Structures are given as C-alpha cells and as structure tokens.
Structure 1
Amino acid sequence: MEPAAASSLAVNRDQAKVSVLGVPSQPGLASHILGTMARAHIEADVVVQNTGKDGKTDLSFTVRRNDSARTVELLRVQVLPALGARDVVADTGVCKISIAGTGTHSQVGTASKLFGALREDGIQAQMVSTAEACTSVLIDETQLAQALHTLYRAFGLDPQPAQAAGTTSEMRHNSGIGNVTEWPKVLPC
C-alpha cells in the first residue's frame, strides 16, 4: 500500500516576503543579494527568482517578520545602487503553510491537489517551495483559517491529531480550525 501523500500541516506566521525588483539580469545576482543578507545575519527561506524576456530579474524570498524592515533598508542601500535594481519591497501580511508526508514531493498530484484546493476557495499562492518531505506555500495571512480548513478537507486530514502522536499545547493554532503544528516544532521543511 502506498503511504499517504500528506499526513500533517504546519504553519509559520513569522514570515515576510521581500522582493528585489527589476534587476538587470546577470550571473551571480542571487549570490550578491543573499550574500549581503548573510553578512548582516539575515536568513532567507523560500527563494524564487524570475527573469523576464526584457532582461530584468525579480528575486523574492521570505525572512523572519521582524527582519523585514532591516532587510529592505539594507538592500536599498547596498543592492539597489550596486545592481541597478528598480526597488525593494516587503509584505509582512503573509504566512507559510506546509503540507508534509513521506514522499509528498515525488507523489504525483500532491502539488496539483494543493493548488486546486486553494484555487477553489479563491486563495492565491504567492510563493511555493518543495522538498522531499513537504510542499510549502506562502499565502495572505488573512486567509489562513480558510486555507487550513480547505487543506484539511482536500487531503482528508484530521484537524484534531491524536494525543498519542504527542499533541500538546505547542500544536494548537489560533485559527479556530483544529490543531496544527506551529512552525518549526515538527516538520523539517
């Protein structure tokens, strides 16, 4: 019997999306931006780089929410002039939901089911990250409770995990939709 594609959900509310916009495309762009952040001890999580046909690149990534203003200021001072970027912007009204289970990355249809369920409820995925054990999606934080309800239903997950599985107060979530692991207590994605 094939293992379930998804066995649990995790939420990380301590997220902000930062985007460096309109950078002339060049090798080493991500290295320069992320290296500048690393030297300032700012950790990036989900990273997405898109290069358009116009030769301009947008690089978006997540940081801890309390690092967002410092990240924007740092990149405006050190990256905009050096790389000729158009702007650096942040959105602190986001959160990350991760759906985990053995082989979620390789199981055909997991991502499609995730995005389809969110789409049916009008929830836009802003960024996506996949790993062997989980798929994560960044959404507008105001839609968190709705997204959790949708994903519990779509993946047939029980919003009330069994006490035997180690469910304690750290697994409770204030959305009013059952229990969910608060990041980063359990999931390695």
Structure 2
Amino acid sequence: EAKKLDSISMEEMLELSGQGAKVIQIRAVEFANKYNVLVRVLSSFEPGSGTLILQEEEGMEDAVITGIASQTDQTKFTLHGVADTPGIASGILSPISDEGIEVDVIVQNISVSNKTDFTFTVATSDRPQVEAVLKEKMKGISYDELIIDEAIGKVSLVGVGMRSHAGIASSAFNALADAEINIQMISTSEIKITIVIAEDEVENAVRTLHKTFNLGD
C-alpha cells in the first residue's frame, strides 16, 4: 500500500503529474512553481496535514525515489526500415506536433544498412490521428512497415535523490527482470526513469517497484 508523503518538491510533483499521477492538476503545480507558492494537498476523506509541495530544499535528496506513477491506454508506433538520413526525427514528429499531439517516449535504433527503426508512444486516444499523419502527411520519408501496438503501458520512477545516487536504474531493471516483466522502451532524465511495458503488466510492475524501493507503509 502506498504511503502518504509529508512533503514533495515542485519538480518531482511536475514529473509525477505529467506521468499520470492523479493528485493535482499539472497546471496548478506549474503556476505554483512559477510564482514560488507553497501548495498543501489535503484529503477529502481523511483528516490530516496532507502533503506540502515546495521548492527543493537541502536534505530532500535523502529520499532517492519519491514516488511511482503509471499510465495505461498508451500506443506504441514503430516505423520499421526508415531510410537513415538527416532530419528523420523532425520529419516524423513535426507533422504530429502540428496536430497538437504530444509524443512521449522516443527511441531511434542504430542504423543497419542505412536503415533504422523509429519508435514512439502516444496516448491511445490519439492513435487514429497519428496513424493518419504517418500515412498521409510525411514528406520525403520512406519506411518498410508501420507497426502499431495498443497494449502498452508505462511506469515512471521519480525522485530528486537520483542526482546523487548511482544504481537506481539497474535496481529497477533487476527487480522487473526477477518479476519476469519485459522492458520494451526506456526513457531517463535527471530525476525520472520511465519504463514502457505491456499494459497487462503495469500493476505488477508498480507493486514490484514499490517493494524494491520501500515506498509502501
């Protein structure tokens, strides 16, 4: 069972909200961060002091992983056999961005025989529009096959403590391997690791990572 946090940094809350944590609207956190406003999130069902969202302070790095967020209803697009020429990423993603669609995890494989695979994820609700863009609006980019997988989910670990602790990613990957959960894609930033997996494995992955990083009560 997840435990209540007494405090969390604005940066961590922005990352968690952006990855599907249903705690507070991400725009509210962005506004508070911009104007340096402290935010306290309270429960509608239980009394208590809630969780304080504040600017990062000295000592907050003690918690290596602050929280885990997950999302289902994700779709993975893979363009197989793309001609490996300058401007591939822009040529694929710009028409999608022009439609107001947010692309999340992106992976481009190493070129083999001047061809590569380009993979990215979007919300499943955007699938029809993205598919139409890839088939109709990409100019000058050829590929052998378009592979679409709707049975995708993602799990994100967030914590400012990642900045000063090595081995977090390997611990997470080892735990998922022990649970026989296959990792399809990985994206990292300074305080976040996002792992793309099969949708039906998301719940097990969250439980496994909670246990690995002692995030439960």
TM bracket (short chain)? 0.7 to 0.9
CA distance in structure 1 between the partners assigned to 2:68 and 2:164 by the alignment: 18
Query: For structure 1, which runs of at least 5 residues remain unmatched after alignment?
Result: 161-189
Equivalent AA in structure 2 for residue 61 of structure 1? F
Is the 1:105–1:131 contact (alpha carbons within 8 Å) kept by the matching residues of 2?
Answer: no
In structure 1, the residue matched to 2:107 is 48
Is the 2:82–2:143 contact (alpha carbons within 8 Å) kept by the matching residues of 1?
Answer: yes
In structure 2, the residue matched to 1:94 is 152
1:157 lines up with 2:215 in the alignment: yes
Equivalent AA in structure 2 for residue 115 of structure 1? F
Normalization by structure 2: what TM-score?
0.68
2:76 corresponds to which of 11, 17, 29: 17
1:76 lines up with 2:135 in the alignment: yes
In structure 2, the residue matched to 1:177 is none
Number of aligned residue pairs: 158
**Cα RMSD, aligned residues only:** 1.8
In structure 2, the residue matched to 1:112 is 170
**Bigger mean CA offset, 107-116 vs 3-12:** 3-12
Shift of 1:151: 0.7
Shift of 1:120: 0.6
Equivalent AA in structure 2 for residue 67 of structure 1? D
Shift of 1:106: 5.4
Normalization by structure 1: what TM-score?
0.77
Shift of 1:103: 3.5
3-state secondary structure, aligned to 2:169: helix
In structure 2, the residue matched to 1:4 is 63
Identity level (%): 34
3-state secondary structure, aligned to 2:166: coil
Is the 2:72–2:202 contact (alpha carbons within 8 Å) kept by the matching residues of 1?
Answer: no
In structure 1, the residue matched to 2:98 is 39
Residue-by-residue CA offset, 1:11-45 (whole Å, 9 max, x unaligned)? 12242111111101001100000011112222211
Shift of 1:70: 2.1
3-state secondary structure, aligned to 2:129: helix
Greater C-alpha radius of gyration = 2
Shift of 1:52: 2.8
Shift of 1:127: 0.9
Residue-by-residue CA offset, 1:149-179 (whole Å, 9 max, x unaligned)? 1111111111x6xxxxxxxxxxxxxxxxxxx
Is the 1:97–1:138 contact (alpha carbons within 8 Å) kept by the matching residues of 2?
Answer: yes
CA distance in structure 2 between the partners assigned to 1:77 and 1:88 by the alignment: 13
CA distance in structure 2 between the partners assigned to 1:106 and 1:47 by the alignment: 26
Query: For structure 2, which runs of at least 5 residues remain unmatched after alignment?
Result: 1-58
| Structure 1 consecutive aligned stretches of length 4 or more whose deviation exceeds 3 Å | none
Residue-by-residue CA offset, 1:101-157 (whole Å, 9 max, x unaligned)? 113255210100111110111111111111122111011011112111111111111
Is the 1:76–1:88 contact (alpha carbons within 8 Å) kept by the matching residues of 2?
Answer: no
